[in-house]
Amino acid sequence: MKNQKHALMFGGATVLLWSTVATAFKLSLREMTPVQLMLIACSTSVVVLAVILVQQGKMGELFRLNRKQYLASLVFGLMNPVLYYLVLFGAFARLPAQEAQPLNYTWALTLTYLSVPLLGQRLGRSDFLAGLMCYGGVVVIATRGDILGLKFSDPLGVILALASTVIWAFYWIANTRDTRDPLVGLFLNFLLGLPFIVAICLATGDLPDASATAIWASFYIGVFEMGIAFVLWMFAMKRAENTSQVSNLIFISPFLSLVFIHFILGETIFNSTYVGLVLIVAGLWYQQRGRKVSPEATAA
């Protein structure tokens, strides 16, 4: 049943959770490697998603898929969680949270650009201008304001953060042809991806050994970032009478995230972070607005 008030409540709760995960990433990665964090978070997520499936009466759907769909689950699982989080956590391990989080936020623009060769869509003027604004913001953040010098704080960290947007965009484009129930699909992706994470840990001897704070932060990521947030956002979209009002809540997330990053992690937020983040969010907002009104942005 459509209910805009409920949709905004679910959407707001999701945005609040998304705003905390960059902080949780860093709390774990201060003492853990990306693979160790993946092992705990993904294991937790599998349990949480299984509980939600049972609660919604969808567990039986896991056994009604065909061979092609199970194979797709394996491929998707290698993309997300395995490859995506390995790269994303690698970026957060090298960069301050205030830098890694906004760079990863440009995935929506990456998705638009990859949709041209992969889905046959066309770009409008708003897409080009949005790209200049967003990636201009990326340069400001990555160089900490030293635009002319182009001295990146951590080149590999920046590459990993931007690479994560490419992986995430490929994942969602591939999912456009996925006919599985979204929740069932996500559970299978994580379930089939988990053995590969375990294998990496065993092969490298990289088993979790950290403080209670880091361990609990890893559980938090598995419960909320990889589990409940997805379900809440799905509920928000299903109940929305006006989806644009709900989707616009996303633009609050990166700014709210800086509050947690500053007060919990103790990072001093650089002026360049504010400037770059404003450029990125403004570019994404302009692109979203432009694609609603411009016929040039429609699919070919």
The answer to whether residues 46 and 195 touch, using CB atoms and an 8 Å cutoff, is no
Q: What is the pLDDT of residues 267-300, one digit of tens each?
A: 999 999 999 999 999 988 888 776 654 433 333 3
Cα–Cα distance measured from residue 93 to residue 25, given in angstroms and rounded to the nearest whole number: 8
Highest mean pLDDT among 6-15, 200-209, 216-225: 216-225
- Residue-level pLDDT at 298: 34
Tokens representing residue 220 in the block: 């938090």
Q: What is the pLDDT of residues 222-268, one digit of tens each?
A: 999 999 998 898 888 888 877 777 777 888 899 999 999 999 999 99
Burial (CB count <10 Å: 0-12, 13-18, 19+), residue 285: middle
pLDDT category of residue 127 using cuts at 50, 70 and 90:
confident
Residue 299: strand pairing partners: 121
For the chain, how far is it from start to end, CA to CA, in angstroms? 33
pLDDT: which is higher, 117 or 195: 195
pLDDT category of residue 7 using cuts at 50, 70 and 90:
confident
- Cα–chain center distance at 218: 16
Cα–Cα distance measured from residue 92 to residue 98, given in angstroms and rounded to the nearest whole number: 9
The answer to whether residues 269 and 95 touch, using CB atoms and an 8 Å cutoff, is no
Per-residue pLDDT at 17 exceeds 70:
yes
Q: How many CB atoms are located within 10 Å of the residue 274 CB?
A: 16
Tokens representing residue 161 in the block: 């953060």
The whole-chain average pLDDT of the chain stands at 88
- Residue-level pLDDT at 291: 60
Percentage with pLDDT > 90 across the chain: 60
Q: What is the pLDDT of residues 170-194, one digit of tens each?
A: 998 888 888 888 899 999 999 999 9
Q: What is the pLDDT of residues 59-92, one digit of tens each?
A: 999 999 999 999 999 999 999 999 999 999 999 9
Cα–Cα distance measured from residue 78 to residue 90, given in angstroms and rounded to the nearest whole number: 16
Cα–Cα distance measured from residue 8 to residue 14, given in angstroms and rounded to the nearest whole number: 10
